């Protein structure tokens, strides 16, 4: 059993004791207010003494000030829709300025990011893009992941993110009419497609109205847990939710934190070869192939059928194939191992040939000199 001296593997533990949640919903469903109530409760739970930060794209944080003020909590804001400003905010959070960040709304940041991409050519005197093309997403999505999603997941502070909801649409053939029809299949957050996978808790907020005739009798908000990695609240619903409703999953997130004591994550870029690496790879492969060919020619330089068969048998022994074309496609490491086996085959074969020659010599010696000629004379 291989020893785990470098702590490459470690016991499963809570190495990320931070609450990362996302609230999605249409206008007026209570996303922002619910996020604020959770931030207040979380502030008290962890005993924070730092200000709570809100990244406000809607210029609506002023309506939250009384909620935080009555709890004696300082609320600071950065009003912006720019991903560059959000990244700077997250950098300062990472440096310890605050323990809790509210993002409201991530949908505006995403929309601004897309528009900024389309306008980027104007910085260099070119025309702005009118629409995004397929190849543009190969730049947009990885950039968003690097500049936001990876930070959201990995940074050491609590984040409550709000996003506007939009409908998902699908199409299918109507069995009665035979025509293809488009229909609403669900609700999703208006943001880059993979972002909703990042939070540990994903909540759908809805606005409920009780009507009495044409008059609204009462209004409430309902929270439905769409995803809960802890499974404690998964699928549950809450009317006019408070911090206490989400406390069970928050406790799981905060429970028994440990400091990660394993080897650092390795840089996957090392797996990609540079042009120099590729050239060295090709040269190494060519050299080994030439050494194998040269060795076999030295052992059996002839072109007769027996010599050709010997070489094919040697290659088959070394690489489990008689095709030299297949051998040329192999990795240099495999070629080196095969070359060793070919040398083993040749040494065994040469020893066997030597024994056969020695046996033939002994047989000839036992027959005696001239015995063959005498037999010939007798037959005459």
> How does residue 358 score in pLDDT terms, banded at 50, 70 and 90?
confident
Q: What is the pLDDT of residues 150-196, one digit of tens each?
A: 999 999 999 999 999 887 666 666 666 666 666 555 677 888 888 98
The span from the CA of 205 to the CA of 185, in Å, is 17
Between the alpha carbon of residue 170 and those of residues 134, 185, 190, the distances in Å are 20, 6, 16
Q: What pLDDT was estimated at residue 380?
A: 39
> How does residue 379 score in pLDDT terms, banded at 50, 70 and 90?
very low
**176 three-class SS:** coil
Q: What pLDDT was estimated at residue 6?
A: 66
What single string gives the DSSP state of each residue in 334-379?
HHHHHHHHHHHHHHHHHHHHHHHHHHHHHHHHHH-TTHHHHHHHHH
Q: What is the pLDDT of residues 301-337, one digit of tens each?
A: 988 888 889 999 999 999 988 888 889 988 888 999 9
Contact 158, 18 (CB under 8 A): yes
Helical H runs in 261-304? 275-299
Q: What is the pLDDT of residues 49-101, one digit of tens each?
A: 999 999 999 999 999 999 999 999 999 999 999 999 999 999 999 999 999 99
Q: Give 123 or 323, the one with higher predicted confidence.
A: 323
Beta bridge partners of 104: 56, 162
The span from the CA of 203 to the CA of 183, in Å, is 23
Between the alpha carbon of residue 217 and those of residues 28, 30, 210, 222, 338, the distances in Å are 17, 18, 5, 16, 83
Q: What's the mean per-residue pLDDT of the chain?
A: 86
Q: What is the pLDDT of residues 214-229, one digit of tens each?
A: 888 889 999 999 999 9
* CB proximity list for 324: less than 8 A, separation 6 or greater: 315
Q: Is the pLDDT of residue 1 over 50?
A: no
Domains of the chain plus CATH, in order, are 20-262 (3.40.50.300), 276-369 (no CATH)
H helices, E strands: number in the chain: 12, 9
Between the alpha carbon of residue 237 and those of residues 48, 218, 223, 225, 245, the distances in Å are 29, 19, 5, 6, 9
Between the alpha carbon of residue 38 and those of residues 52, 69, 158, 372, the distances in Å are 12, 15, 11, 110
Q: Give 264 or 209, the one with higher predicted confidence.
A: 209
Tokens of 357: 């020659």
Q: Identify the H or E element spanning 40.
A: helix 31-46
Choose the weakest-confidence range: 139-148, 153-162, 209-218, 366-375: 366-375
Q: What pLDDT was estimated at residue 185?
A: 59
Beta bridge partners of 61: none
Q: What pLDDT was estimated at residue 377?
A: 45
Q: What is the pLDDT of residues 259-302, one digit of tens each?
A: 765 556 666 666 666 677 778 888 999 999 999 999 999 998 98
- pTM (predicted TM-score): 0.67
């Amino acid at each position: 059993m291989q020893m785990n001296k470098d702590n490459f593997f470690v016991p499963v533990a809570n190495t990320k004791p931070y609450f990362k949640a996302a609230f999605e919903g249409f206008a007026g469903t209570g996303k922002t207010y619910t996020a604020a109530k959770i931030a207040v409760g979380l502030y008290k739970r962890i005993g924070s003494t730092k200000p709570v930060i809100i990244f406000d794209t809607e210029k609506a944080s002023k309506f939250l000030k009384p909620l935080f003020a009555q709890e004696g909590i300082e609320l600071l804001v950065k009003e912006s829709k720019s991903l560059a400003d959000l990244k700077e905010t997250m950098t300062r959070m990472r440096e310890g300025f605050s323990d809790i960040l509210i993002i409201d709304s991530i949908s505006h940041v995403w929309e601004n990011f897309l528009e900024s991409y389309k306008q980027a050519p104007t910085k260099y005197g070119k025309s702005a893009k009118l629409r995004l093309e397929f190849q543009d997403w190969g730049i947009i999505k990885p950039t968003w992941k690097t500049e936001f999603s990876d930070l959201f997941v990995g940074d050491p502070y609590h984040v409550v993110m709000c996003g506007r909801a939009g409908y998902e649409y699908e199409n299918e053939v109507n069995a009665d009419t035979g025509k293809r029809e488009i229909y609403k299949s669900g609700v999703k957050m208006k943001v880059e497609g993979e972002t909703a996978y990042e939070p540990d808790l994903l909540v759908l907020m809805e606005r409920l109205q009780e009507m009495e005739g044409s008059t609204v009798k009462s209004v409430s908000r309902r929270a439905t847990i769409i995803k809960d990695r802890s499974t404690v609240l998964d699928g549950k619903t809450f009317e006019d939710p408070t911090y206490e409703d989400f406390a069970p999953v928050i406790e799981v997130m905060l429970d028994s934190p440990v400091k990660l004591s394993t080897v650092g994550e390795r840089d996957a870029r090392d797996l990609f070869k540079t042009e120099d690496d590729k050239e060295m790879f090709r040269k190494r492969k060519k050299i080994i192939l030439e050494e194998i060919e040269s060795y076999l020619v030295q052992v059996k330089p002839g072109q007769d059928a027996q010599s050709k068969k010997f070489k094919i048998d040697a290659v088959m022994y070394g690489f489990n194939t008689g095709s030299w074309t297949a051998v040329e496609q192999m990795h240099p490491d495999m070629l080196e191992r095969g070359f060793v086996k070919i040398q083993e085959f040749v040494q065994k074969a040469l020893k066997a040939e030597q024994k056969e020659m020695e046996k033939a010599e002994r047989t000839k010696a036992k027959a005696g000199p001239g015995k063959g000629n005498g037999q010939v004379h007798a037959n005459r």
